[in-house]
Amino acid sequence: MLLFRKFVVLSLFIAAPAANAVELFGVKLEPASRNQLRIAVKNAGVKLVREAGDDQFFDVYEAQDLLPGAKFLYLGFTKQDKLFAFAEYRFNGLKHEELLRRLRRKYGEPKVLKPEFITDYHYQWQDGAIQISLYSDWGSYATRLIYFEPQRLAVLKGEQKAFLSAVGSAQEFMQPAY
């Protein structure tokens, strides 16, 4: 399992594969199912913190052993078809130059997006249907590396909004009863 974890880290050093071949834990993200990724993560020995359920929209894993400086890995899947929507690594701190160098080697030069604050940065790559984003989150003093499929992420956000709307109206209905 330790060898597989090293593969995940070392894969950032390898030249980019053909378009539409972004992988995590040996699973191509386009199109990856929730079960495929969960099995691959489990086989890699990554510690599960919380698995998504009816009221949760993403899994949470400890990521300290996956990428240097990473704290958590979040994996999100659409509820209806259970397909990959996003994977997010959260790092403490704002500057991660080595990570940026690795991503540049793997995916080429990024598109640089205008950040909200002058001290922030936001880099983005596209590989097939998968977008890769590295940015500083000044508000939480963190850096985030996100792999996502934009259409499925929009579906997931819609599912989450509908769920919260339904829960909110149910809570309003129940409130007077207590």
Question: What does each of the 178 residues of the chain score in pLDDT, given as a tens digit?
Answer: 544 444 444 345 334 444 447 999 999 998 899 999 999 999 999 999 998 876 677 899 999 988 888 999 999 999 888 999 999 999 988 777 888 999 999 999 999 988 777 767 899 999 999 999 998 877 778 889 999 999 999 988 898 888 888 776 544 444 444 3
| DSSP code string of 43-105 | HTTPPEEE---TT--EEEEE-TTTSTTEEEEEEEE-TTT-BEEEEEEEEESS--HHHHHHHHH
Domain ranges in the chain are 2-177
What is the token pair recorded at 146?
């996100």
Q: Which two tokens stand for residue 50?
A: 């919380």
Q: Which of 77, 84, 67 is closest to 144 using CA atoms?
A: 67
Helix (H, G, I), strand (E, B) or coil at 112: strand
Instruction: Give the global pTM.
Output: 0.79
